[in-house]
Amino acid sequence: MKRVFGWVRATMVAAVLGGLFSFPMAHAMTDDLLTIGSDAPALDVEHWVQNGEGKFGKVTKFEKGKVYIVEFWATWCGPCVASMPHIVETQAKYADKGVQIVSISDEPKETVEEFLERKVPRSEKEMTFRELTKSYCLTTDPDGSSSESYMQAAGQNGIPCAFIVGKDGKIEWIGHPMSMDDPLKAVVEGKWDRKAFADEFKEQQEMEALQMKVQREVGGLLRDRDFKGAMAKFDELTGEIKNPEMKLQFAMMKLRLHQVANSSKTEVVKTLRDTLAMASKDPAMSNQVAWTIWEMSEQGQIDKDKELFAEAVKVAQAAAAKQEGSPKAATLDTLAHLQYGLGNLAEAIKTQKEAVAIEGGNPEIKGFLEELEEEANKKK
C-alpha cells in the first residue's frame, strides 16, 4: 500500500519524468497556448464519416449563436470508445438547442470504417458502432492538422479530449467528455463563467507546458550525459515558479533528477529538506516526501541524517493527525520507519501497531511490525 498510496499525487510528474528519461520526440510547443477564451481554430477535417443522418453539415468556421463540441478520439482508445454512449446522449439532448458534436480521429478512414462495423459490447440491444454513433458527426483527419490546431496548440496530451466552442466562437472549456455536462449546460444557457474557469485552467496549462519544456530541454542534456548541465537547466526553467503546488511538483521532479544525475548527498539532502517544508501543509504529500527520505536513505543516496529524519518525523506526525483510514495508516507506517531509522524502536513499534489497527490486512504494514517486534525480542 505504501508505494501505491504514497505516489498517487505524483502520477503526472512520474509520467513526465519517465518520458524525460527515455527521450521521446518533444511535443510541439508555442508561446501562445490555445486556451479558454481563445478563438476556436477553423476546422479542416478530411473525412466526415457520420453526419447525424444528414442533420448536420460539415463544419469549417463556427457559426455565431451555436455551440460546438470538438472531441478527439481514436479507435484504439478504450476511454474514447467508452465515452461514445454519453456523447450520443449529449447530442440527442442538445440537438434542438444549437449544439453540434464533431468527433475527430487522426487515423486512416479505412481504420475508422472497420471499427464502425464492430459490435458494441454489452449493449442492451445488439448494434454496431456505426449504428451507435449515427446521431452525431464522427470524422477522421489523417493528416493530423485538426489535432495540431487543437490538441497540440492547447498542450493536451491525452484522449478523449473535448473542446466546447461557445456562441461567440471562443473556447469555453477543455476536458474529458465525460465531465462536460455541467459546463455545456451553463454555456448553452448563457450562465457559464468563462473567466473563472480560465483562471483555473490556465494555471494547469502553464504547468503542463513547463513540464514539456523541461522534458525537451533537460531531457536533451541527459541524453548527452551532461548531468551538471541538466540540473542547471532544470533550476533555470523552474526557479521562478510562484504557485506552491507547482513548486512542490517540480521539487519532486528534481529529486528524481538527482537520482539520474547521481548528485552529491549534500545536494540531495538540501532538496529533500526544501521539498519537505513545501509538502508540510498537505498530508498526502507530507507522507510522500517523508517516505522518499526513508527510501533514499535505504538506497544509500543519502545518509540517515538525524536532523532531516527528525524534521520528517514532525511532518509525518502532523500529517497523520489530520488523516483517517488508509491514508492515516500509510503515514503512520512512514512515521514508524523514520522512528526506527532514528533508533527509537519502542516508538516505532507503538506507531506501527496503530497503523496495523487501521490496516491490519495490509501485508507490508503487518510485516514491518513483525520485523520490529522480532528485533525487540532479540534485544531482551
d(CA 254, CA 298): 19
d(CA 157, CA 196): 23
- Tens of pLDDT along 288-344? 999 999 999 998 889 988 999 999 999 999 999 999 999 999 999 999 999 999 999
- Let me know if residue 166 belongs to a domain: yes
Indicate if 174 and 238 belong to the same structural domain.
no
Q: Are 358 and 326 in contact (CB under 8 A)?
A: yes
To the nearest whole number, what is the mean pLDDT of the chain?
A: 88
Indicate if 180 and 206 belong to the same structural domain.
no
pLDDT at residue 31, as a whole number: 53
Q: How confident is the model at residue 203 (pLDDT cuts 50, 70, 90)?
A: confident
- Tens of pLDDT along 152-176? 898 887 899 999 999 999 999 999 9
pLDDT at residue 335, as a whole number: 97
Indicate if 309 and 263 belong to the same structural domain.
yes
d(CA 91, CA 69): 9
- Facing residues of 175 across strands? 162
Indicate if 157 and 216 belong to the same structural domain.
no
pLDDT at residue 206, as a whole number: 77
Whole-structure pTM value: 0.59
pLDDT at residue 7, as a whole number: 29
Indicate if 288 and 177 belong to the same structural domain.
no
Distances (CA, A) of 265 to 234, 291, 295, 315: 18, 17, 14, 21
pLDDT average, residue stretch 195-214 = 82
| 360 closest CA partner among 326, 323, 337, 334 | 326
Indicate if 248 and 364 belong to the same structural domain.
yes
pLDDT at residue 143, as a whole number: 95
- Given 152, 170, 190, the domain boundary residue is 190
53: left (phi over 0), alpha (psi -120 to 50) or beta: left
Residue 56 belongs to domain spanning: 47-190
Indicate if 134 and 219 belong to the same structural domain.
no
- Let me know if residue 170 belongs to a domain: yes
Mean pLDDT: which of 121-125, 196-200, 345-349 is highest?
345-349
Q: Are 198 and 183 in contact (CB under 8 A)?
A: no
Indicate if 225 and 159 belong to the same structural domain.
no
Question: What is the DSSP code (8-state) at residue 150?
Answer: I
d(CA 121, CA 295): 44
Grid coordinates of 134: 449515427
pLDDT of 6 > 60? The answer is no
- Given 171, 190, 209, the domain boundary residue is 190
- Let me know if residue 33 belongs to a domain: no
pLDDT at residue 29, as a whole number: 42
Domains in the chain: how many in total? Answer: 2
Q: How confident is the model at residue 245 (pLDDT cuts 50, 70, 90)?
A: confident
144: left (phi over 0), alpha (psi -120 to 50) or beta: left
Indicate if 242 and 306 belong to the same structural domain.
yes
Indicate if 170 and 213 belong to the same structural domain.
no
Indicate if 311 and 226 belong to the same structural domain.
yes
Q: What is the CATH number of the domain that holds 123?
A: 3.40.30.10
- Tens of pLDDT along 17-41? 454 444 333 333 445 789 999 999 9
